[in-house]
């Protein structure tokens, strides 16, 4: 049984911070299909369209019939662990710093045999289930896990290396006064976060629910306004070196399209919070997080953006807001690539309409703030890059893959 993770001691302030290292990241273009599945929390392999043979490793033509038609499909992740080896030496710097490390051979029920990282609770001959996870380089790896959850399973060092578990980590929630922000704080505390820095963009506005959350000794309020560069800089100088996970919950939701809306202040405000505010956060908190990406048990691991599904497809009745969401998504994609060198993961959480005051007239289904917060925490624990929350977001994702032009027309007619 995996030993429970011990709370890390306070860091020696004069000790040198370990520099981040990354596992080997070279992959073929075909193998990036594994990365796409891992980023969304799916287990998919190539399956030949002609003879249904499951392929591994990814290849250009079928190993059985030489067909070039090899679409990615969900397959049975179960298998049996045939052999296990514990490495005590490695020429690769990343693994050398993390020895001993377990690897093994798994024969899958779907057919192929694969070499995978092995969870500490798996033994030779055991039935296991394989999972695709993203490593610190942002590429997919396979991990053999127990078929059933076991105590402290998530504390295994192999899983911890491929996840962004909030346990014992310190988290900044940029807007703790919003309904989503308060739900995020509560979910992070329940997930075992050591401390939550709760941003307060409007200290003058009373909020009994926010004040009640701040009674918990682990919650530390911070006067943080993403539209004010000085405010972001002050907070970053105070706590920037302590933030392991940043959850950006700041939002500005208003009605109105472009053609008949001459109030440019609405556009400026939306872009100032969703796009420029994200840039301010990145410029002041990002470098410190990147530098602490190898800082032991409570290293900096993740940057979470709570976005709308309308970042992918504009909603004309809220065209300006949708455009600002799309701009935020573009910035997030830039951050994801810039953070790759350190191993900090950028997680985008896309939701449908949220059940709060600005969606009062929107008919169901709507996503509750609690469900959105729990989905974000689950994405951190499972190491997922992109997660879609709610029936609307899931439907839009499917329709964007199937018929994006049809979805565009329907949104315009609504």
Question: Can you tell me the distance from the alpha carbon of 246 to that of 286, in angstroms, rounded to the nearest whole number?
Answer: 9
In a domain, 20, yes or no: no
pLDDT, position 180: 95
Closest CA to 242 of 285, 207, 190: 285
Q: Are the C-beta atoms of 209 and 234 separated by less than 8 Å?
A: no
* In the chain, % of residues over pLDDT 70: 99
Residues 281 and 177 in one domain: yes
pLDDT, position 17: 74
Closest CA to 294 of 239, 241, 242, 343: 343
Residues 119 and 243 in one domain: no
In this model, does residue 258 exceed pLDDT 90? no
Name which residue leads in pLDDT, 356 or 71: 71
Angle at 281 between CA 276 and CA 284, to 5 degrees: 120
Residues 101 and 230 in one domain: no
Q: What is the DSSP letter of 134?
A: E
In this model, does residue 236 exceed pLDDT 80? yes
Residues 189 and 46 in one domain: no
pLDDT tens for 340-350 read: 999 999 999 99
Name which residue leads in pLDDT, 380 or 21: 380
In this model, does residue 296 exceed pLDDT 90? no
pLDDT tens for 2-57 read: 777 777 777 777 777 778 888 988 888 999 999 999 999 999 999 999 999 999 99
User: What integer best gives the mean pLDDT of the chain?
Assistant: 92
The predicted model gives 194-208 an average pLDDT of 93
pLDDT, position 263: 78
Question: Can you tell me the distance from the alpha carbon of 94 to that of 43, in angstroms, rounded to the nearest whole number?
Answer: 25
pLDDT, position 139: 94
In a domain, 2, yes or no: no
Q: Are the C-beta atoms of 130 and 142 separated by less than 8 Å?
A: yes
Residues 123 and 80 in one domain: yes
Residues 118 and 187 in one domain: no
In this model, does residue 414 exceed pLDDT 80? no
Name which residue leads in pLDDT, 363 or 99: 99
Query: Which residue intervals of 222-368 are DSSP H helices?
Result: 229-239, 264-271, 277-291, 319-339
Q: Which two tokens stand for residue 59?
A: 């290849």
Question: Can you tell me the distance from the alpha carbon of 367 to that of 348, in angstroms, rounded to the nearest whole number?
Answer: 16
In a domain, 276, yes or no: yes
Say how many C-beta atoms besides its own lie within 10 A of residue 136's C-beta.
22
Question: Can you tell me the distance from the alpha carbon of 128 to that of 131, in angstroms, rounded to the nearest whole number?
Answer: 10
Residues 231 and 366 in one domain: yes
In a domain, 331, yes or no: yes
pLDDT, position 132: 96
Question: Going along 7-71, which residue ranges are E strands?
Answer: 44-47, 54-55
Lowest-confidence pick of 160-169, 190-199, 258-267: 258-267
In this model, does residue 301 exceed pLDDT 70? yes
pLDDT band at 1 (very low <50, low <70, confident <90, very high): low
Closest CA to 226 of 293, 280, 158: 280
Strands 113-118 and 101-108: antiparallel
In a domain, 320, yes or no: yes
Q: Which domain holds residue 149?
A: 32-162
Residues 196 and 77 in one domain: no
Q: Give me the sign of the Cα torsion angle 27, 32, 38, 43.
A: negative
Mention every residue, 6+ apart, whose C-beta is less than 8 A from residue 58: 28, 30, 31, 33, 34, 45, 46
Strands 127-134 and 140-146: antiparallel
Q: Which two tokens stand for residue 78?
A: 């179960």
> Which helix (H) or strand (E) element contains residue 135?
none
pLDDT, position 262: 78
The number of distinct structural domains making up the chain is 2
CATH of the domain at 192: 3.40.50.720
Among residues 120, 136, 162, the one where a domain terminates is 162
In a domain, 341, yes or no: yes
Residues 237 and 131 in one domain: no
Among residues 162, 193, 214, the one where a domain terminates is 162
pTM of model > 0.85: yes
The predicted model gives 160-168 an average pLDDT of 92
Among residues 132, 162, 192, the one where a domain terminates is 162
pLDDT tens for 392-407 read: 999 999 999 899 999 9
Residues 146 and 245 in one domain: no
Residues 280 and 157 in one domain: no
Residues 155 and 220 in one domain: no
The predicted model gives 44-71 an average pLDDT of 95
Question: Can you tell me the distance from the alpha carbon of 49 to that of 123, in angstroms, rounded to the nearest whole number?
Answer: 35
In a domain, 1, yes or no: no
In this model, does residue 187 exceed pLDDT 80? yes
């Amino acid at each position: 049984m995996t030993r429970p993770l011990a709370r890390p001691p306070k860091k020696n302030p004069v000790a040198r911070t370990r520099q981040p290292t990354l596992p080997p990241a070279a992959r073929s273009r075909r193998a990036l299909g594994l990365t796409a599945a891992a980023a969304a929390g799916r287990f998919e392999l190539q399956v030949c369209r002609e003879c249904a043979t499951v392929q591994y490793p990814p290849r250009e033509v079928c190993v059985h019939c030489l067909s070039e038609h090899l679409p990615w499909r969900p397959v049975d992740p179960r298998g049996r662990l045939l052999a296990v080896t514990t490495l005590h030496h490695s020429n690769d710097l990343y693994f050398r710093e993390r020895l001993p490390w377990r690897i093994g051979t798994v024969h899958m029920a779907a057919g192929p045999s694969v070499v995978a990282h092995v969870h500490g609770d798996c033994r030779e001959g055991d039935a296991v289930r394989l999972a695709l996870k993203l490593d610190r380089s942002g590429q997919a790896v396979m991990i053999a896990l127990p078929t059933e959850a076991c105590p402290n399973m998530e504390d295994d060092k192999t899983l911890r290396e491929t996840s962004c578990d909030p346990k014992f980590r310190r988290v900044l929630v940029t807007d703790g006064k919003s309904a989503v922000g308060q739900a995020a704080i509560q979910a992070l505390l329940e997930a075992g976060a050591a401390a939550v820095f709760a941003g307060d963009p409007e200290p003058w506005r009373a909020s009994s629910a926010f004040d009640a959350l701040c009674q918990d000794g682990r919650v530390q309020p911070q006067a943080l306004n993403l539209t004010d560069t000085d405010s972001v800089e002050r907070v970053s100088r105070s706590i920037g070196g302590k933030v392991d996970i940043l959850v950006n919950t700041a939002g500005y939701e208003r009605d109105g399209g472009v053609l008949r809306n001459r109030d440019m202040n609405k556009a400026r405000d939306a872009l100032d919070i969703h796009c420029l505010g994200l840039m301010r956060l990145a410029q002041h908190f990002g470098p410190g997080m990147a530098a602490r990406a190898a800082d032991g048990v409570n290293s900096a691991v993740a940057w979470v953006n709570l976005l709308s599904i309308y970042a992918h497809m504009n909603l004309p009745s809220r065209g300006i807001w949708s455009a600002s969401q799309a701009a935020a998504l573009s910035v997030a994609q830039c951050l994801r690539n810039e953070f790759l060198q350190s191993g900090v993961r950028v997680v985008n959480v896309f939701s449908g309409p949220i059940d709060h005051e600005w969606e009062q007239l929107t008919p169901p289904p709507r996503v509750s703030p609690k469900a959105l917060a729990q989905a974000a925490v689950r994405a951190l624990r499972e190491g997922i890059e992109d997660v879609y929350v709610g029936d609307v977001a899931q439907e839009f994702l499917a329709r964007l893959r199937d018929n994006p032009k049809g979805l565009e027309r329907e949104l315009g007619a609504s």
